[in-house]
Amino acid sequence: VVAGLGLTGQACVRFLTAQPVKVSAWDTRENLNIPESVNVPVILGEPPAAFWSDVDLLILSPGINPQLAAVQHASQAGVEIIGDVELFARLNDVPAFGITGSNGKTTVTLLLTHILKENGKAVIEAGNVGTPVLDTLSMSLDAIVLELSSFQLETTSSLKLQAGAILNISDDHLDRHGDMQRYLDAKQRIFLHCDTAIVWRGQAETRPTTPVRDIVLY
């Protein structure tokens, strides 16, 4: 099941309908003009109680809060819950770089993409800016530069990165995460399977709290 039919959700539906799996979609909005490109069964509003009984995997769009009651019901029913970035991570074999932080993510993502292109690399920006991550899986690339929000990172567990950075941390999205520690924990997931951490020496919160092979300070 794909949760949310914004641009990310539509990209997930597009990718999954090309795979040998049974796909449906769910959107929290009770009134929604379903995009013509979405040609799978769609549930709107609150799913019925038995909806999750035959579901294996729920892919959350970044705008869907994992603490939402329906998502918790899915978890209690034994459904695995991930996001599109985690699904990408399980299938991707192209070197990837990850950028997160409270401010400046897009600028740095586009700058790194530009630098790599100027050095003759076939590279694309994806994730929170540019191309949906799942769309990159069919491309012939030397590298992918990912802009990653805390909403995207909180549902990842196996994202492998050549290098990753938390640019900075300030109070943000606390209405979603609840408190600063949960927000920090989401950001720190960028370093779970990261070879090199790029760290701003001016803020301790940008340093990895899990082991990485190398740390570069700036």
From the candidates 73, 117, 160, 173, give the one annotated as an active-site residue.
173
173 in catalytic set: yes
Residue 14: how many other CB atoms lie within 10 Å: 16
Q: What SS3 state is found at 154?
A: coil
Q: If you count DSSP H runs as helices and E runs as strands, how many of each does the chain have, helices first?
A: 7, 11
From the candidates 105, 119, 177, 193, give the one annotated as an active-site residue.
105
Q: What SS3 state is found at 150?
A: helix
Look up residue 70 and give its DSSP letter. Answer: H
73 in catalytic set: no
- Strands across the sheet containing 160-166: 123-127, 143-147, 96-100, 160-166, 193-199, 214-217
Structure-block tokens of residue 102: 């409270």
Q: Phi first, then psi: what are they for 103, rounded to 5°?
A: -140, 150
128 in catalytic set: yes
211 exposed, middle or buried (CB, 10 Å; 0-12, 13-18, 19+)?
exposed
From the candidates 92, 128, 177, 187, give the one annotated as an active-site residue.
128
Catalytic sites, residue numbers? 105, 128, 173
